[in-house]
């Protein structure tokens, strides 16, 4: 009611205003204008500030009328501010930097080709963010090359860009060393670790290997003759898994014939076309082909069997090995504290939605959500561990 009354007063003031004096408020910024800054309040809500711009022409009547109109508008704004008050001064209880509404302008860069694990995770996250109204029009784009280090260089060079993020994981950590990249993930702003997933040992439906025992027997007989493909560069999860598997079954890791593909999207045709002896990668990227029978899973590397995948774990098969991959999201270095808080808050909201919980189940991902400083410590530990492993293999 107070706003309606204020509106009537404002209308009356306008009607009293001499239309011939419109030029009294010269809204053109020029050498002939000056600006008055008036702060109203804080009797109700937060202080409200106004800029009153008027001509410096010596016309006191015109200036006074312009000021009266601005004052009426200020009153309306103050009354509108108080409409939701329950008494006393209002306080802002929102998290500093957290967006009041949906995040806009968000970009998620994928540092390898479409169809791989990073790409799938990024597009699922973007869909949940938009569907749950946490963000609007989230853009996902691919910038592939050099095991993810082309994208890594881009994110590091976009210093201060609070709208850009990159989906990444263990593979980019390793690639930054094997490709001698000047940029490292420790140069970025860590936002959140999203998921973990076990690896899978896979072959095509036409492969002669029907079980993990079949494969291991042939592999041990002639390690170099059986190529293993992975969707990451040396040092990434698809490389580390077969290296550790080789060690667990008594094969010299230096004799493993590893073929690197730039993401799961490039690896899949190699599996289906029998261009490699077997593949080591995350099963979640190939669920459609696994369910249709085009890809056969011989074993998975987690502590438990994967739901919907008819294959034993390595431990069930008598091989003493557990291995999991992880994926997360980072921002460029040098973003503001408010931008960092806004992005982490958006990811926290996404993580709590039913849409994200359904995505975890559908893609056989394990929830591994951590943010901020905790994720930063995790990244530093992973960086050191991978560097040590690659140094021992002569790859870093």
Whether 103-192+330-360+371-392 shares its CATH topology with 197-325 is answered yes
Torsion over CA: 105, 110, 116, 117 (sign): negative
Owner of token pair 């189940």: 361
For position 98, what pLDDT does the model report?
52
Kind plus residue range of the DSSP H or E element containing 201: strand 189-204
Residue 263 backbone zone (phi > 0: left; psi -120 to 50: alpha; other: beta) = left
C-alpha span between 118 and 267 (Å, rounded): 13
Sequential pLDDT tens for the chain (396 residues): 333 333 334 334 334 334 334 333 333 333 333 333 333 333 333 333 333 333 333 344 444 444 444 443 334 333 333 333 333 333 333 344 454 689 999 999 999 989 889 999 999 999 999 999 999 999 999 999 998 999 999 999 999 999 999 999 999 999 999 999 999 999 999 999 999 999 999 999 999 999 999 999 999 999 999 999 999 888 899 999 999 999 999 999 989 999 999 888 899 999 999 999 999 999 988 999 999 999 999 999 999 999 889 999 999 999 999 999 999 999 999 999 999 999 999 999 999 999 999 999 999 899 999 999 999 999 999 999 899 889 888 888
Q: Which fold has domain 103-192+330-360+371-392?
A: D-Maltodextrin-Binding Protein; domain 2 (3.40.190)
Structure tokens at 193: 């670790």
Report helix, strand or coil for 307: coil
Report helix, strand or coil for 243: helix
Distance, C-alpha 57 to centroid of its chain? 55
Structure tokens at 302: 């987690």
Q: What's this model's pTM, rounded to 2 decimal places?
A: 0.71
- Residue 313 is classified by DSSP as B
- Residue 60 near residue 21, CB atoms below 8 Å: no
For position 389, what pLDDT does the model report?
85
Owner of token pair 């939605």: 353
CB neighbourhood size of 143 (10 A):
17
C-alpha span between 301 and 315 (Å, rounded): 8
The residues facing 337 across adjacent strands are none
Kind plus residue range of the DSSP H or E element containing 281: strand 278-282
CB neighbourhood size of 74 (10 A):
18
- Residue 223 is classified by DSSP as G
For position 365, what pLDDT does the model report?
94
Dump pLDDT digits (tens) for 230-286.
998 888 999 999 999 999 999 999 899 999 998 888 999 999 999 999 999 999 889
Q: How many residues would you count in the chain?
A: 396
335 contact partners, CB below 8 Å, separation of at least 6: 160, 161, 162, 189, 343
- Residue 164 near residue 336, CB atoms below 8 Å: no
77 contact partners, CB below 8 Å, separation of at least 6: 40, 48, 50
DSSP for 334-380, please give it: T--HHHHHHHHHHHHHHHTSHHHHHHHHHTTPEEEEEEHHHHHHHHH
Ordered by start, the domain boundaries in the chain are: 2-84, 103-192+330-360+371-392, 197-325
Structure tokens at 370: 């951590």
Dump pLDDT digits (tens) for 122-161.
999 999 999 999 999 999 999 999 989 999 999 999 999 9
Kind plus residue range of the DSSP H or E element containing 392: helix 372-392
For position 297, what pLDDT does the model report?
98
Report helix, strand or coil for 295: strand
C-alpha span between 348 and 370 (Å, rounded): 9
For position 100, what pLDDT does the model report?
66
Does CATH place domain 197-325 in 3.30.360.10? no
- Residue 95 is classified by DSSP as P
Kind plus residue range of the DSSP H or E element containing 108: strand 107-110
C-alpha span between 150 and 282 (Å, rounded): 22
Report helix, strand or coil for 80: helix
CB neighbourhood size of 179 (10 A):
17
């Amino acid at each position: 009611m107070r706003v309606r009354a204020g509106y009537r007063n404002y209308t009356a003031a306008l009607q009293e205003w001499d239309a011939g004096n419109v030029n009294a408020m010269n809204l053109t910024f020029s050498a002939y204008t000056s600006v008055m800054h008036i702060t109203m309040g804080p009797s109700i809500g937060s202080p409200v500030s106004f800029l009153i711009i008027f001509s410096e022409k010596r016309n006191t009547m015109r200036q006074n009328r312009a000021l009266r109109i601005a004052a009426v508008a200020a009153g309306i704004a103050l009354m509108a501010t108080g409409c939701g008050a329950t008494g006393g001064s209002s306080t802002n209880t929102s998290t500093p930097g957290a967006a009041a509404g949906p995040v806009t302008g968000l970009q998620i860069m994928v540092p390898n080709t479409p169809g791989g694990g990073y790409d799938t995770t990024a597009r699922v996250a973007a869909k949940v963010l938009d569907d749950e109204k946490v963000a609007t029009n989230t853009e996902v784009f691919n910038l592939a090359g050099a095991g993810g280090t082309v994208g890594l260089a881009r994110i590091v060079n976009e210093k201060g860009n609070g709208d850009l993020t990159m989906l990444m994981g263990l593979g980019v950590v390793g690639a930054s060393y094997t490709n001698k990249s000047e940029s490292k993930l420790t140069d970025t702003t860590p936002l959140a670790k999203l998921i973990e997933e076990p690896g899978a040992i896979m072959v095509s439906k036409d492969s002669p290997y029907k079980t993990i025992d079949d494969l291991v027997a042939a592999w041990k007989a002639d390690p170099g003759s059986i190529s293993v493909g992975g969707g990451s560069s040396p040092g990434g999860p698809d490389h580390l898994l077969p290296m550790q598997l080789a060690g667990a079954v008594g094969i010299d890791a230096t004799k493993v014939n590893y073929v690197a593909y730039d993401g799961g999207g490039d690896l899949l045709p190699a599996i289906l076309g029998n261009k490699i002896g077997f593949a080591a990668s995350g099963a979640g990227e190939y669920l459609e082909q696994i369910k249709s029978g085009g890809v056969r899973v011989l074993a998975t590397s987690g502590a438990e069997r994967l739901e919907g995948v008819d294959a034993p774990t390595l431990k069930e098969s008598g091989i003493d090995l557990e291995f999991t991959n992880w994926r997360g999201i980072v921002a460029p270095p040098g973003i503001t504290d408010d931008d960092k808080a806004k992005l982490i808050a958006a990811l926290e909201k996404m993580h709590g939605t039913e849409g994200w919980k359904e995505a975890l189940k559908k893609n056989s991902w394990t929830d591994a959500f951590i943010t901020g400083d905790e994720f930063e410590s995790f990244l530093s530990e992973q960086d050191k561990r991978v560097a040590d492993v690659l140094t021992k293999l002569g790859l870093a």
